Amino acid sequence: MNAAVGLDDPAYRAAAVDLLGVLAYGELSAFHRLASDAALAPTISDQAALAAMAVAEFRHFVRLRDRLADLGVDPEGAMRPFVASIDGFHESTAPSDWLEGLMKAYVGDGVGADFYREVARVLDPETQALVLDVMADTGHSAFVVATIRDAIAEDPRVAGRLALWGRRLVGEMLSQAQRVAAERDGLSALLVGDVAGGGALPGFDLAEIGRMLARLTEAHTRRMQALGLSA
């Protein structure tokens, strides 16, 4: 990141608040979704594992909410612009069973986390550290991988269905990200820079955006391979 740009720059501050707002509502939504999906779990142990994942998401939400408050921003106001988009994504990708719910938590959330880790490269050090921390693997991915691989071993027919579900999740995630960026000038400026608009946001050039998309695709492929599925 350009060291001259920080939270004292109005354009950058607006962009950072947008980013923290979308992340905060995303984490709150993930908490509600995982808590709800736990009802689909076939065993009490599985319910507990998903509940633990939900608790981790809520802790992330609290940190992001508190950071917005520390910046003098109303957290609800910062999150509100992203409610329709995030809720719409979850409505369009509601899992039909336990395994699809796990896939969504692992693949869908994984793509989102990869994307925001990429964006963190152009953030100020304090905001960057927070984003990287809340987007880090909570340690629950091993449970998801083991559960899905066991399910495929027990019934290989589910592999094709889950592979298609994984591809749909990625497509919906990318569409949602594009809609959010297009609707919020701050996020768009954070991604592509704002020099032409008189600001000093660094952003990514077109070549770097291409490399970033390639890295996201490669990470998704590795994630699917860990499940024993084709991307």
Per-residue confidence (pLDDT) for residue 186, from 0 to 100: 73
Per-residue confidence (pLDDT) for residue 122, from 0 to 100: 83
Q: What are phi and psi for residue 3, nearest 5 degrees? A: -60, -20
Query: For every one of its 231 residues, what pLDDT tens digit does the chain have, with 9 covering 90 and above?
Result: 444 467 888 888 888 999 999 999 999 999 999 998 888 899 999 999 999 999 999 999 999 999 999 999 999 999 999 999 899 888 999 898 999 999 998 988 888 888 888 888 888 899 999 999 999 877 778 899 999 999 999 999 999 999 999 999 988 888 887 777 777 777 777 776 653 444 555 666 667 777 888 888 898 899 999 998 887
Give the Cα separation of 7 and 138 in Å (integer).
28
Q: Is 43 left (phi over 0), alpha (psi -120 to 50) or beta?
A: beta
Task: Mention every residue, 6+ apart, whose C-beta is less than 8 A from residue 60.
Answer: 27, 134
Per-residue confidence (pLDDT) for residue 72, from 0 to 100: 96
Per-residue confidence (pLDDT) for residue 198, from 0 to 100: 47
Tokens representing 128 are 């960057």
Give the Cα separation of 65 and 75 in Å (integer).
6
User: Where exactly are the structural domains of the chain?
Assistant: 10-227
Question: Architecture of domain 10-227 in CATH?
Answer: Up-down Bundle (1.20)
Per-residue confidence (pLDDT) for residue 133, from 0 to 100: 94
Per-residue confidence (pLDDT) for residue 197, from 0 to 100: 46
Task: Mention every residue, 6+ apart, whose C-beta is less than 8 A from residue 8.
Answer: none
Per-residue confidence (pLDDT) for residue 194, from 0 to 100: 57
